[in-house]
Amino acid sequence: MSSALLDLPVKISSERLYQSLMDLAKIGATSKGGNCRLALTPLDGQGRDLVTAWMREAGMTITVDQVGNIFARRAGKDNELPPIMTGSHIDTQPTGGKFDGCFGVLAGLEVVRTLNDHDIETNAPIEVVIWTNEEGTRFVPVMMGSGAFVGKFKLEDILNTTDKDGKRVGDELKAIGYDGKAPVGGRAVGAYFEAHIEQGPILEHENKVIGVVTGSLGLRWYDVTVTGMEMHAGPTPMPIRQDALYAATFIMQDVIQNALDHAPHGRGTVGSATVHPSSRNVIPGKVTFTVDIRHENADQLRAMHERLLATCSSIEKSHNVTVRVEEVSYFPPTPFDPTMVNAVREAAKSSDLSYMDIVTGAGHDAVYMASVTPTAMIFVPCKDGVSHNEIEDAKPEDLAAGAQVLYEAMLPRAML
């Protein structure tokens, strides 16, 4: 007789969850213990194949939509009801870790495996989702699959998006066999929960196991191109130079200063830059670089945006260069549904786990899902708050606690 019927507490399996995480981490494993499984690469395809095989073994049916989002469904008693959904992503940063995104997908699978173990039939169906290209590192925009699902992006635009080598999303989906046929979005979702490592230092610092995520910072991404004039580094006198790199450094510095001036929630990062022609004795003629700014408050984020544009136009004049700013991703500061946030809080309480409210500095698919269905997130600590780094680490017991809270928060909704 299953423990659920004996009214014993139903517990997820920490060992099985952690083993699945370690098995997935073998795909795209890097020498420093991290993962490199860029979106829509063959390694991403292998990761998708492995996890969907586990989902099928757990009796789930798999549907893939036209942007490659994977929906694994566990039927309920009444399959007309909108699904209670959870999930995250398994694409990684180039020097990513084993847990960012993967924890959310495999915690969802662990909830299903646990329901199976205890012969628990839910009323509503449950779906575990692998969203396409959450990271936005190979293709922008960030959180591409969930953004398309909620109607933020047009299908054609997404399929025609190219990476720096000119490879199209549509072709790359086909190449890995995930050019699904199901329509993108346009269907009801009962509720969406996402479990994720915090990717920052707060939970560990406050010695809390569960982060009750009340909402997300807003984010704006840009590609900036500074164009000057290649000239010889020797004969060209300093005052007449149109040095694209020298001009770019002032804009880059101000991205950081802008965030510092909008403390404590301001964030500013220049993550990548390329210099052309990148030769020691040629004055750089062109520099392209990325900008990532974030803030918890919409007005402050707008002020940071306006300051970036003002800095670019003033440097354009003072350094006799041209500056082109292209915004490539945006989402506003996003609060999560208070009743759902409370469900996470109550689940942490009933599981006797320490918890605290927290705002996520990282973007997640949950941010887009919050625009179409009641949404909440569950955070667990990661070691030293480090993420987007191969040394990313999390304790098995914390990961299990997060999956247990996911189970306790999801189940009542799936039983309504």
Query: Which residues contact ligand HGY by CB under 6 A?
Result: 134-136, 142, 362-363
Give the nearest distance from C-beta 61 to ligand HGY in angstroms: 28
- At closest approach, how far in Å is the CB of 89 from Mn ion? 6
* Contact (CB, 8 A) for 129 and 170: no
Q: From the list Mn ion, ligand HGY, none, which binds 142 (C-beta under 5 to 8 Å, kind-based)?
A: ligand HGY
Q: Which is nearer to ligand HGY, 198 or 243 (CB)?
A: 198
Question: What is the dihedral sign for C-alpha 198, 202, 208, 212?
Answer: negative
Minimum distance from residue 217 beta carbon to ligand HGY (Å): 8
The residue with tokens 């209670």 is: 84
Residue spans of alpha helices (H) in 351-395 = 365-369
CB 92 within 8 A of CB 101: yes
Per the omega criterion (within 30 degrees of 0), is the bond before 277 cis? yes
**Which of the ranges 53-61, 99-107, 110-118, 331-339 carries the binding residues for Mn ion, by CB under 5 A?**
99-107
Q: Which residues neighbour 132 within 8 Å (Cβ) at sequence distance 6 or greater?
A: 39, 40, 67, 68, 69, 89, 91, 144, 145, 148, 173, 178
Minimum distance between the CB of residue 404 and ligand HGY, rounded to whole angstroms?
24
Q: Which of 100, 204, 390, 398 binds Mn ion (CB under 5 A)?
A: 100
Minimum gap (Å) between residue 216 Cβ and ligand HGY: 9
Q: x/- string (CB under 5 A) for Mn ion, residues 347-386? A: ---------------x-x----------------------
The dihedral built from the CA positions of residue 311, 314, 319 and 322, taken in this order, carries a sign that is positive
51 vs 362 by CB, closer to ligand HGY = 362
CA angle centred on 139, ends 73 and 142, rounded to 5°: 65
Binding partner selected for residue 136 from ligand HGY, Mn ion, none, CB under the kind-specific 5 to 8 Å limit: ligand HGY
367 binds, among ligand HGY, Mn ion, none (CB under 5 to 8 A by kind): none
| Residue 390: both structure tokens together | 């191969």
Instruction: Measure the CA–CA gap between 386 and 201, rounded to whole angstroms.
Output: 7
Q: How many residues bind Mn ion (CB under 5 A)?
A: 4
Between 116 and 389, CB nearer to ligand HGY: 389
Q: Name which of Mn ion, ligand HGY, none residue 65 binds, using a CB cut-off of 5 to 8 Å depending on partner kind.
A: none
The distance of closest approach from Cβ of residue 362 to ligand HGY in the complex, given in angstroms and rounded to an integer, is 4
In the complex, the smallest distance separating the C-beta of residue 403 from ligand HGY, rounded to whole angstroms, is 20
Beta carbon of residue 10, minimum distance to ligand HGY (angstroms, whole number): 32
What does 127 bind: Mn ion, ligand HGY, none (CB cut-off 5 to 8 Å by kind)? none
Distances (CA, A) of 304 to 103, 268, 289, 405: 33, 9, 17, 36
The span from the CA of 109 to the CA of 335, in Å, is 26
User: What one-character DSSP code corresponds to residue 353?
Assistant: -
Comparing CB distances to ligand HGY, the nearer of 90 and 142 is 142
Cα–Cα distance for residue pair 100/195, rounded to 1 Å: 10
Residue nearest to Mn ion (CB): 101
If the CB atoms of residues 217 and 252 are measured against Mn ion, the closer one turns out to be 217
**C-alpha 243, offset from chain centre:** 36
Label the pairing between strands 355-360 and 210-216: parallel
Q: Is 228 a residue that touches Mn ion (CB under 5 A)? A: no
Expressed in percent and rounded to 5, the helix, strand and coil fractions of the chain are: 35, 25, 40
Q: Please choose, out of 93-101, 225-233, 305-313, 372-380, the segment that lies near Mn ion by the rule CB under 5 A.
A: 93-101
Q: How far is the CB of 100 from ligand HGY (least distance, A)?
A: 7
Taking the least distance from each CB to ligand HGY, the nearer of 18 and 221 is 221
Whole-angstrom Cα distance, residue 92 to residue 228?
A: 35
Which residue, 43 or 323, is less far from Mn ion as judged by CB?
Answer: 43
What's the closest the beta carbon of residue 132 comes to Mn ion, in angstroms? 13
Residues in the chain: 416
Q: 204 touches which of ligand HGY, Mn ion, none (CB within 5 to 8 A by kind)?
A: none
How many angstroms separate the CA atoms of 28 and 36, rounded?
5
Choose among Mn ion, ligand HGY, none what residue 104 binds, the Cβ cut-off being 5 to 8 Å by kind. none
Q: Which residues bind Mn ion (CB under 5 A)?
A: 100-101, 362, 364
